[in-house]
Amino acid sequence: MCMFNSRNPVFRYPTGAVANCLPVHFKIDMPRDLRCSAARLLVENDSTGETQVLDMFWCGMNGDNHEWWECHFAAKTPGLYFYHFEVATWRGVLNLHKGFGGEGTVMGNDCGAWQLTVYDRSFHTPEWLAGGIMYQILPDRFFSSGKPKADVPQDRKLHTDWSDQPEWKPNGKGEVTNSDYFGGDLAGITEKLNYLKSLGVTCLYLNPVFEAHSNHRYNTANYEKIDPLLGKEEDFKTLCAEAKKRGMHILLDGVFSHTGSDSVYFNREGRYSTQGAYNSQQSPYYAWYNFRNWPDDYECWWNFNTLPNVTETNPQYNAYINGKGGIVRRWIADGASGWRLDVADELPDAFLDNLRTAVKMENPEALVLGEVWEDASTKNAYGKRRKYLLGEELDSVMNYPFRDAVLGFVKGADPAQMMEIILDILENYPPQVIRLLMNHIGTHDTERALTVLAGAPTEHHDRRWQSETHLTEKQRQLGLQRLKLAAMMQYTLPGIPCIYYGDEAGMEGYKDPFNRGTYPWGHENTDLLAWYRKLGKLRGMLSCLKEGSFVPLNADDHTMVYIREDSVDAILVAMNAGGNSRTLYLPDEWRTAEPVFGEAPDRNCGLTLPPCSGTMLVRQKHPSPSGPFALGKPETPEEAVESIKDKIMENMEQEPKIKNELLDFLKNI
């Protein structure tokens, strides 16, 4: 019998991360034959190293052979707390530590501790992104409007054929300059907004759009100007305005840990008339950088001398980025709905605090999302534990752990281990963060998902091999099957699915720059595209995919089954990543549920999943008169108002949150 499980509300309530000052109830279930005479909960404050010991009290029997011990703990201060139990028995003092699946294991020696994340009780994250779909665009490679551009530097090579492969060979000096361009621009993105709307997209995450002298634009030259190949500030304002008409928001990429050496701030290449830090120690930008021996010996991002690091805590730099009228606030005022922060784990806490303040002062509902590759709740950087998710810095993060779980499961990794990755994140992150997690399976920094799922690994292969190697037809068919399954999982896990541009069209490619090809307009895989559109429609219809609970049912033998559920509806997701059919037995209430993907279950034999396939079943708890998934659309505004009033009254007691959302909507009619 289980003695303790941190994910089970019988043993710990509430489960998951909690707000500060909220009492957490702990119970352990001890066998009577151990003759327990005392039990204690030991909680270590991660920031101070101090351990608090709480006596647990005997609180009754659990059957004839087990007994309950309990206590409460409340943390006044946000932070991380690690806990385990000590039990005095006839065999001596036993330690109850964290085992697989959150369950307790009794050991004599110190082992793993459970984590309790305590966030600031005032922590609020934006509402507009919850339940939505994100789409990541590398602007140069998405679509070109064909509009003429002014003031484009002459040292850029512009491809004349949209289907060319990006350049990867070093130049005569052995340098890879990333100076070839395809001409995608902001006006081109605006032209394709209806296409993006057809996918259900609600947020466009744009890789850097500011002036920079490389096609990826992570070497910022001027934070105040849109890159001339992408257009002008007016093009950006138009994109934001047109996107909002379609219910979409624009998320900008903020590269604030370094600039380009070829920039108005550093000006090593002498392109600009300004006195950059490289040109003069009297430059207004000199204090932004850390020179070991001016001008040629300076700190760089990962030792790339074209990317000089900035000192983010420098008052002048901080004011330039985060101050009143600074970069962060200026572009939100122009229409952006927030920032994705490049290498957020390399930005100091003080800078992140100031940036969040600047963002929220300009727009309290603007998003601050950070690039963190690990579990962001336990990340160490700058020699200390970071506090990204406690309420003062980030709203959410890029969810690389979920990427590992999704791609791992689909490729045949142990489903129980992949489920453990998912449940660890759900246990460690605040719910406000979870609902906005950027759940991607590919980005500009990774190989294309289709290539990962079916291609040969890149170990021991150089860039030439990567440039010449493509999926065979057999590999591609397998990859497409697996990608559909991965997308099914990506779209139904807690958080926000993020499509890397072109994945929905069947793009493939190994590492940079082969993962950054141009979108194949007119040559999309239409079957895959229809799959993504159907998934997008499903997310728009189901309330439970916004903030519903996550209940794992099965994770073994190449299969994974889980439920997302709230007070309105529920979905059961069942997937088989193996090469043979699997039959699964479902809870009784799901045997008559409506299939929206895959086949319906047999009421007697269970659910049979063919190889590399999945099924989704939906149950509606409060069906509307217009259909099983969504409210009907009345014909007149007057009917709309009356319909909403009826819905408000219907939900007065059973669903206050829906009531408030509908009342807000009613005010705007």
Q: How far lies 423's CA from each of 8, 12, 15, 102, in Å?
A: 12, 15, 11, 9
Q: Which two tokens stand for residue 431?
A: 């719910």
Residues forming a β-bridge with 66 = 31
Residue 18 is which amino acid?
V
**pLDDT of res. 26:** 97
The mean of the pLDDT values for the chain is 92
- What sign does the dihedral 320-321-322-328 (CA atoms) show? positive
Place of tokens 């011990």: 69
Average pLDDT value for residue range 271-278: 97
Q: State how beta strands 51-55 and 92-98 pair.
A: unpaired
Q: How far lies 625's CA from each of 203, 259, 501, 628, 639, in Å?
A: 30, 56, 37, 8, 14
Tens digits of residue pLDDT in 206-219:
999 999 999 999 99
Residues forming a β-bridge with 594 = 618
Tens digits of residue pLDDT in 508-550:
999 999 999 999 999 999 999 999 999 999 999 999 999 999 9
Tens digits of residue pLDDT in 549-576:
999 999 999 999 999 999 999 999 999 9
Tens digits of residue pLDDT in 64-118:
999 999 999 999 999 999 999 999 999 899 999 999 999 988 864 556 899 999 9
- What sign does the dihedral 155-158-256-357 (CA atoms) show? positive
248 φ, ψ to 5°? Answer: -115, 155
Question: Following CA atoms 473, 478, 481, 483 in sequence, which dihedral angle do they give, to the nearest 10 degrees?
Answer: -90
CA 92 – CA 76 distance, rounded (Å): 33
536, burial (CB in 10 Å: exposed 0-12, middle 13-18, buried 19+): buried
Tens digits of residue pLDDT in 431-441:
999 999 999 99
For the question of residue 349 being annotated catalytic, the response is no
**pLDDT of res. 372:** 97
CA 102 – CA 114 distance, rounded (Å): 8
Instruction: Given the residues 371, 508, 565, 655, select the one marked as catalytic.
Output: 371
CA 370 – CA 396 distance, rounded (Å): 6
Pick from 437, 256, 469, 421: nearest CA to 355 = 256
**pLDDT of res. 627:** 34
**pLDDT of res. 666:** 40
Confidence of residue 644 (pLDDT cuts 50, 70, 90): very low
Residue 172 has pLDDT above 90, yes or no: no
Sorted by where each starts, the structural domains of the chain and their CATH numbers stand as 12-119 (2.60.40.10), 134-169+179-257+312-541 (3.20.20.80), 548-620 (2.60.40.1180), 637-667 (no CATH)
For the question of residue 253 being annotated catalytic, the response is no
Confidence of residue 605 (pLDDT cuts 50, 70, 90): confident
Q: How many residues does the chain have?
A: 669
Select the more confidently predicted residue: 656 or 389.
Answer: 389
Q: How far lies 572's CA from each of 323, 422, 530, 535, 616, in Å?
A: 47, 16, 21, 14, 6
**pLDDT of res. 624:** 43
CA 81 – CA 210 distance, rounded (Å): 41
Identify the H or E element spanning 240: helix 233-245
Average pLDDT value for residue range 399-411: 98
Tens digits of residue pLDDT in 191-240:
999 999 999 999 999 999 999 999 999 999 999 999 999 999 999 999 99
Instruction: Given the residues 211, 253, 342, 655, select the one marked as catalytic.
Output: 342
CA 283 – CA 298 distance, rounded (Å): 15
CA 64 – CA 80 distance, rounded (Å): 37
Pick from 406, 504, 540, 500: nearest CA to 204 = 500
**pLDDT of res. 599:** 85
Q: How many CA atoms lie within 13 A of 256 on its CB side?
A: 28
